[in-house]
Amino acid sequence: MNPLAVTHITATSCLGCGMDATLQSLRAQRSGLAPCSFETVDIKTYTGEVPGVDDIRIPERLSTFDCRNNRLAWLGLIQDGFFEAAARCAQRVGPDRVGVFLGTSTSGILQAELAYRRRDSASGALPGDFEYAETQNSFSVADFVRRALDLKGPAAVVCSACSSSAKVFGSARRMIEAGVIDAAVVGGVDSLCLTTLYGFHSLQLTSSGPCRPFDVARDGISISEAAAFALLERAGDAPIHLLGVGESSDAYHMSSPHPDGVGARSAMLHALAAADIEASEIDYINLHGTGTQTNDSSESKAVSSVFGTRVPCSSTKGATGHALGAAGALEAAICALALRHGFMPGGLNTTQIDPDLGIQYLDTNRSAPLNRVLSNSFGFGGTNCCLILGRHG
């Protein structure tokens, strides 16, 4: 594929708002996870909540879109000058030449969960102030961001569970390559809600403590929330480029990855082929690394089958938690930080690396010049996506 310029990128998560705060937390090996105190949730688990989301005010003209997910989207959009950069890009190429492709797994479902508590006692009707299209519907976040930025190009939400906001890079890449658009706002926004907290708990996939990816005693995920955005352009003088995207399906199980990582391996090989580089040219891998027994075992088999033990790998989910549909974009932003600063973030909370997982897992920060890094994102339904980002030139 033709490399695309990543002309702007930003991330907001439990590590902080914007790239500087994210970098500082990663450098300090500070986790954003804390015992879950979200809403009325009574599960013993840790979550990565973004402080102050409920106090965010979205633009008045878009008030029907008001919900936690779109507040988080707005908070993320106004960090690092992203909003202005996207507006300048639209001015340059035309608002109809900028697409919006965002990933989410649950969008504003929390709004529906809360509305169901306020049903009319006689008729069962939902309250009149519940806006389905603008909050609950998966497309709501892309619709909101497109309107907030006054963009007029194509738009869609990719809603493929935890690979969603990695796959949007693939959709945008094809649209730009086909010439349908010249630039795209891509990213992911997912916010805490009861469906995912109680849902993952029902599958016994939430850890009772902070998640410990690749630890011998790992026992599940810590659910979190995040908003991360990137501006992709066909041509642009940017230090970081999107070099490759690889996608695949497991065809195995709805909620477990293929035990041998067949789909994950295929996604990584496709990404390398798209970038036209060898496995030996990858300097760091940001793992999906959720901290479940099955994910980390399956992913390590896939990674070692392609890269052996040569490449330093880490999961940043011990710091950020698992932001589900926003994880892919969040970790792309972390990869951008890694490339910019020659910095590989060590995985947190892992006290004893599982010796059965045959990869070079970093549990401390390491500095080294990095030219090309790879990020994995996998999701329920056996959906896999792998991104390769690199320094330009």
Contacts of 240 (CB under 8 A, 6+ apart): 5, 6, 9, 336, 339, 340, 389, 390, 391, 392
In the complex, the smallest distance separating the C-beta of residue 382 from another protein, rounded to whole angstroms, is 6
In the complex, the smallest distance separating the C-beta of residue 75 from another protein, rounded to whole angstroms, is 22
In the complex, the smallest distance separating the C-beta of residue 377 from another protein, rounded to whole angstroms, is 13
- 21/93 with CB nearer another protein: 93
In the complex, the smallest distance separating the C-beta of residue 112 from another protein, rounded to whole angstroms, is 5
- 129/356 with CB nearer another protein: 129
- 60/178 with CB nearer another protein: 178
For another protein, the binding residues (CB under 8 A) are 42, 96, 105, 109, 112-113, 115-117, 119, 124-126, 130, 132-133, 137-140, 142-143, 152-161, 167, 170-171, 173-175, 177-180, 194-195, 198-203, 247-255, 262-263, 266, 270, 379-383
Question: Which residues pair with residue 102 across a beta bridge?
Answer: 157, 187
Listed residue (334, 99, 101, 340) closest to 234, CA to CA: 99
- 168/373 with CB nearer another protein: 168
In the complex, the smallest distance separating the C-beta of residue 17 from another protein, rounded to whole angstroms, is 27
- 206/224 with CB nearer another protein: 206
In the complex, the smallest distance separating the C-beta of residue 111 from another protein, rounded to whole angstroms, is 10
- Residues acting as catalytic residues: 162, 288, 322
Rounded Cα–Cα distance for residues 50 and 320 (Å): 10
Rounded Cα–Cα distance for residues 190 and 161 (Å): 10
In the complex, the smallest distance separating the C-beta of residue 42 from another protein, rounded to whole angstroms, is 8
- 87/114 with CB nearer another protein: 114
Give the amino acid at 171: S
- 190/283 with CB nearer another protein: 190
